[in-house]
Amino acid sequence: MIHSETILVLDFGSQYSQLIARRVRELGVYSELHPHSISIENIRKLNPKGIILSGGPSSVYEENAPYCSPEIFQMGIPVLGICYGLQMIAYQLGGKIDPSAKREYGRAEVVFDDASDLFAGIEGNKTTVWMSHGDHLTKLPNGFERIAHSDNSPICAIRNKEKKMFGVQFHPEVVHTEKGKEILSNFLFRICRCNGNWNAGSFIEKEKEEIRAIVGTQNVICALSGGVDSSVLAVLLHEAIGDQLYCIHINNGLMRKDESEYVVKLYRDTYRFNLDYVDASEIFLAKLKAVTDPEQKRKIIGNTFIEIFDNEAHKIGNVGFLAQGTLYPDVIESTSFRGPSHKIKTHHNVGGLPERMKLKLIEPFRELFKDEVRAVGRTLGMPEELILRHAFPGPGLAVRIIGDITKEKCNLLREVDAIFVSEIHKAGIYQTLWQAFAVLLPVQTVGVMGDQRTYENVAALRAVTSLDGMTADWAPLPHELLAKISGRIVNEVRGINRVVYDISSKPPSTIEWE
């Protein structure tokens, strides 16, 4: 889709790069994240209103440090460098960067030397920001002036007013920078002169028109899992093309408790979709028998899903397209932005289709973050309880059962998970959590129930808070709530005699266990 105004974010390896793009969109301006090595030709095609250079772990004076093309600084487009981005602007334009005598991580107080343009509208002459750097700027490049400083960074923000080039040593995109939103807003609207017309409503109308034009009279098939992404996708497609949409729900035996019944009832009875329900649980479980490697599990599930989906698709006539709920983070994580690709997991919904399917892909959410998909769902009038459901991994319970997969283990984990989530709902904190789920461990421990000795399984509970899933903190659930949940699980789920709570953050851990 072509956008009337775009802010281009160049990624230099910062853990916050996606967050910059999200913050820009939250302010009503469409943004795209691209590798720092993007060509000038491709930048011109995007025709951005402004460019933001992200932070990164490198030092600009190191051998093989990442650089963008210096031609960017000659294009007449406003530029904002953040942390490493500031240092790279200065270094490439003749400034000097040196290691700091004292590295600066965490909160710091920044004093404004000039409170116009980038810092306009911020009360007082100082603010609290988030720092994360070991180098600092010691000599300004020609044409630049200092506009802010801190105790540890004599040059904390810079400006070339004529060329509309700015740099800040801190991170305005993180919530710890108190006036970060105002600083980014000033760059977008005062400096780049953006209008701010990016929202769920404008996205829906443009996307529906585009879908109709692409599909024509052909039918579209969509894998409907019941999660947020596939559900919002199906409703959007149905509004666009009506009965040309055929949804297929495959029960792989790895779903949450009563998930398939919920999906069939909602989309057949409420939305009146063309919905094909396939119970393939025995097929999946047979193929997963004795498999313990997480990546192998994912591949088996992905390949089996495609085989069954392909068979079902052939029963529907005039099918030309497959719709997928691929999100922007899926696209980013499956692309090498930071040198050699380091995939955390296999994304089974990103990439090509088996040639035999001979279908074209429709991925309306390929440019959207999760919170934007939820906003689309709300605008489409979907129920809030569905919109706010926690994410569920594509391979389902297979990545929440450590070790081999059996029907008995799946049933066990379903019951544990249902108790955990129901108590989170009752406590009124479900919507404050990014995810909450249970994991079945390949460990058995001794317990005592009544007068009998038991030797049964251990369940781990995991609840995290997050803004975007890229980083996450473990949620400090009340001890009384954890005690109630543990008591219910041990008493009601035969086969579990011990419950533990995961207090690991991401990083260094991942949110899911596998």
For residue 468, the tally of other CB atoms under 10 A from its CB is 16
Q: Which of 68, 83, 156, 192 is catalytic?
A: 83
Would you put residue 508 in left (φ > 0), alpha (ψ -120 to 50) or beta?
Answer: alpha
Residue 45: count other Cβ atoms within 10 Å of its Cβ.
10
Task: Please write down the HEC assignment for all residues of 208-266.
Answer: HHHHHHHHCCCEEEEECCCCHHHHHHHHHHHHHHHHHEEEEEEECCCCCCCHHHHHHHH
In the residue annotation, 3 being an active-site residue is answered as no
Given the residues 104, 173, 182, 514, the one annotated as active site: 173
171 catalytic residue (yes or no):
yes
Closest CA to 80 of 154, 199, 167: 167
Please name the residues in contact with 2: beta carbons below 8 A apart, sequence gap of 6 or more: none
Alpha-helix runs per DSSP H in 254-382: 259-264, 281-287, 294-313, 328-333, 370-379
- The tally of CA atoms less than 13 A away on the side-chain side of residue 66 is 20
- Rounded distance, CA 474 to CA 467, Å? 13
Is 173 in the active site? yes
Three-state DSSP class for 489? Answer: helix
Given the structure tokens 């710091």, which residue do they identify?
Answer: 108
> Residue 167 corresponds to which amino acid?
G
Tally of CA atoms within 13 A in the half-sphere of 175 that contains its CB:
4
CA distance 204 to 189: 24
d(CA 270, CA 253): 24
Single out the catalytic residue among 3, 34, 36, 171: 171
The span from the CA of 49 to the CA of 9, in Å, is 11
**Site of tokens 């994240």:** 33
Among 308, 315, 289, which residue's Cα sits nearest to residue 410? 289
Contact criterion met (CB below 8 Å) for 247 and 278: no
Report the candidate in 373, 417, 390, 388 with the shortest Cα–Cα distance to residue 254. 417
The residues carrying an active-site annotation are 83, 171, 173
